[in-house]
Chain A
Amino acid sequence: MLVLEKNAMTEEIELLVHKYGKLRSSLLPILQDIQRKHNSIPDFAQQEVARLLDIHPVEVFSVISFYSFLNTEPKGKNIVRLCQTITCDMAGKTGVAKALERELGIKFGETTKDNKFTLEYVNCLGMCDQGPALLVNERVYPKVTPERAVQIIGEVK
């Protein structure tokens, strides 16, 4: 990371710490804000958050590694998450999965070459009555069919 980028990042995190308070409990909202803006939480940002909250970098890393929606390595610009739990599976998850893989040309857990899409499985999205459920960035799509999945990807593109 360049020095200028580092300085900008520090300033940004200082603002976030000011916004949420210098508390251990502010860690998650701060990390979520960084994730939202940068699509990942870089090493340097983790260490700065730790320094400014007076905790240790490994504690920040531990929290990030616990939550699937936080990541240290950059992912695609849009993240497509398909629910893999049992009710969605029985409601036809497999077909949707195949359609998504075909449409994007990647397997689950991968990112497209143009860095536009990352395809992932997630556990229960809480839409068990309306499966299969798909989460694209921050929007949930219930009762997704293979055709609808392709259409959604097209809308996002």
Chain B
Amino acid sequence: MESKDNLRVPGSQKPLTIEKPSDLNTIGGTVSVEINEKKITVPLGTTILEACKMSGISIPTLCNHEDLCVAGVCRICVVEVEGMRTLQASCAFPITAPMKIRTSTPMVRKARRNIIDLMLSEHYGECYSCFRNGKCELQALAKEYGVDSYTYGHVSKPKYEIDKSSYSVIRDMSKCVLCKRCVRTCIDLQEVGVLEAVDRGDKTHISTFLNKPLNDVICINCGQCINRCPTAALRANDPSDEIWAAIDDPKKHVIIQTAPSPRAAIGEEFGLGAGHSMTRELNTALKRIGFDKVFDTNFTADLTIIEEGTELILRLYKALVKKEDAALPQFTSCSPGWVKFIEHYYPDYLDNLSSAKSPQQMFGALIKTFYAQKAGIDPSDVVSVALMPCSAKKFECNRPEMHASGFKDVDYGLTTREMAKMIREAGINLPEMPKSDFDDPFGEASGAGLIFGATGGVMEAAIRSVVEFVLGKKTEDIFEKANIIPLRGFDGVKYMEIPIGNEVGEVPDIIKHLVPDWNWLKGATLKIAVAHGTANAKKIMDNIKAGGKFSECHFIEFMACPGGCIGGGGQPIPTTPEIRKLRAKAIYAEDESLELRKSHENPNVVKIYNEFLTDGPCGHQSHKLLHTHYTKRGRYIA
């Protein structure tokens, strides 16, 4: 995913990208160019934009994004190339010969100013009533180029109705500048294909199939488009007003659970660089805002590992010992975007999806049952909020089947950006907060739950426990410091084999009633895979469909967003490959600093199986509360 090679670049854009030579020392491997009279040598095929960046010259961009293929449609990055009659878009100009480039001539400045003026003339709305105020790329450009009047006028009425049909994504096309980043995100990066430019000329607008509302087309709610939109044309469905109302209502007991990824990223909203984990500062801030309890979603991430791991063992047992049909490979089901993707595009494989709910929904079900009982609160007075890096979580908590507790398990899904807004509204500067811990009875969770946030994390957490369950050895004895490096990193698809050998341990008490011993696993090899971004998920699914290598896997982790949850659609804008790396680093560093790093060692998880889910993992009670079912949606839009 981090390399652009796998993007399905439309044919018309192929001439805009040139493969860089593998060996720069060959003749013609590099080209020397002169930018603003400064000489620089760059690899052949480097774009003018990249070359300028290398020599420290900043060029404004709008349609260009590091995650996406070249488009060259906004023209804001134009520069003068000596010998060329017209200005050239620097993002779409690969350097193949020595040339002289000028980035700040009267012609360039005038052209850029004109382009901004033209965009503003079609851009509806005033900045102060816009939620992207201060974070809008168009606004920043207007400021940079000193726009002080509307040279070409300004639209006074919105051109399009705001599409609020989706639980997750709101589209306000009157604010669209047609940079087509969302189109490239949806079609190339995610291969979901909801948005495209429709109609022609001045009537061009970004729309869905047959101009249907977003709720009626195949949108997986991943929110990647929101994260790449330079203006406020795309945004998440913000429930913060309802949450404030609940906080202000003395009768309501408002609970928030926080996922690991927002904690690793929310600092960016408060001026910190990427990669600062704010877990404990956030706890204090949330208490001050008025949340009655702050819980750690990692607790149910640990629970997910136990439930999903047990489910995998049961499926393997069924297939290998009982010789019955079992849906293998088992797929993870933590990512609601991925779940909707498979429901639409591979409905025949829904049995392979683990029936375990995502950590968010497990927590929701437990808060309104276990916790409400324990704390002596009427569950109808509990308002359960989930801080997630994700816009699809908003859809997930509104799924009709998510009422296991008898109430709506999770009332509101809140994204990192919206949380930051609420914190600012409360007059709190997050980095200055003192540190505090999570509330009982769920308390601290393990590092295994924490790394759910990065791609490969769910798998790593599962392997840490499975290895100890089956081999009876410490994970640390097999993987140094219990870090399973092959599962980390940002390769689109990761594959790993773990030979089990002939030595197996005792079956732990918690699942003793399900499998008598591990002898049936002797000599077996556990095959696992990890994919992030639905484009990569599609590759694995097509491979499984064709009976390829991945159909022999036992367990596959899928995350809808590039980079996993840390690159989620609810995370601070911008999200780039570089920022994703730093956020992942913060998560892994926090994991390594923890004592407790394996899900099954979490004392609170052990406690909940003793006290509440008494018939064990995948037992009756846990099936009722912690497992779900899926809907065959299919690919046709009615």
Report the Cα distance A61→B187, complex, angstroms. Answer: 14
B11 A25 Cβ-Cβ under 8 A: yes
Can you list 13 A-B pairs, Cβ within 8 angstroms, ordered by A? Answer: A25-B11, A43-B210, A43-B637, A47-B637, A56-B194, A58-B195, A58-B207, A58-B209, A59-B193, A61-B198, A65-B199, A65-B200, A72-B210
A65 B198 Cβ-Cβ under 8 A: yes
Tell me the residues in window 37-57 of chain A with beta carbons closer than 8 Å to chain B beta carbons: 43-44, 46-47, 51, 55-57
Interface of chain B, main secondary structure: loop
Tell me the residues in window 280-301 of chain B with beta carbons closer than 8 Å to chain A beta carbons: none
Residue numbers in A under 8 Å from B635 (CB-CB): 47, 51
Interface of chain A, main secondary structure: helix
Tell me the residues in window 12-63 of chain A with beta carbons closer than 8 Å to chain B beta carbons: 24-25, 43-44, 46-47, 51, 55-59, 61-62
Report the Cα distance A57→B634, complex, angstroms. Answer: 14
Tell me how many residue pairs across A and B have CB atoms closer than 8 Å.
46
B128 at the interface (CB under 8 A from A): no
On whether A24 and B196 interact (CB within 8 A), knowing A43-B210, A43-B637, A57-B637, the answer reads: no
A62 B10 Cβ-Cβ under 8 A: no
B63 to chain A, nearest CB (A): 17
B636 A47 Cβ-Cβ under 8 A: yes
Tell me the residues in window 120-157 of chain A with beta carbons closer than 8 Å to chain B beta carbons: none
Report the Cα distance A72→B210, complex, angstroms. Answer: 9
Partner of A58, one of B194, B200, B636: B194
Residue numbers in A under 8 Å from B198 (CB-CB): 58, 61-62, 65
On whether A24 and B193 interact (CB within 8 A), knowing A57-B637, A62-B198, the answer reads: no
Residue of B nearest to A64 (CB): B198
Report the Cα distance A51→B193, complex, angstroms. Answer: 12
Task: Count residues on chain B whose CB falls below 8 Å from chain A CBs.
Answer: 20
B413 to chain A, nearest CB (A): 26
Report the Cα distance A24→B14, complex, angstroms. Answer: 14
Residue numbers in A under 8 Å from B192 (CB-CB): 56
**Most B-side CB within 10 Å, residue of A43, A44, A58, A59:** A58
Interface residues on A, range: 10 to 19
B197 at the interface (CB under 8 A from A): yes
Report the Cα distance A55→B635, complex, angstroms. Answer: 12
Residue numbers in A under 8 Å from B196 (CB-CB): 56, 58-59, 61-62
Residue numbers in B under 8 Å from A46 (CB-CB): 209
Residue of B nearest to A48 (CB): B636
Q: Interface of B with A (CB < 8 Å)? A: 10-11, 187, 192-200, 207-210, 217, 635-637
Residue numbers in A under 8 Å from B193 (CB-CB): 55-59
* Closest A-B pairs by Cβ, 6 of them: A56-B193, A62-B196, A58-B196, A58-B209, A65-B198, A57-B209
Report the Cα distance A66→B187, complex, angstroms. Answer: 18
Report the Cα distance A147→B415, complex, angstroms. Answer: 67
Residue numbers in B under 8 Å from A44 (CB-CB): 636
Residue numbers in B under 8 Å from A51 (CB-CB): 635
Residue numbers in A under 8 Å from B636 (CB-CB): 44, 47
Residue of A nearest to B636 (CB): A47
Report the Cα distance A24→B199, complex, angstroms. Answer: 19
Residue numbers in A under 8 Å from B207 (CB-CB): 58
Report the Cα distance A141→B256, complex, angstroms. Answer: 72
On whether A66 and B199 interact (CB within 8 A), knowing A58-B194, A59-B187, A59-B193, the answer reads: yes
A148 to chain B, nearest CB (A): 31
Report the Cα distance A11→B280, complex, angstroms. Answer: 61
Report the Cα distance A61→B637, complex, angstroms. Answer: 13
**Most A-side CB within 10 Å, residue of B193, B194, B208, B217:** B193
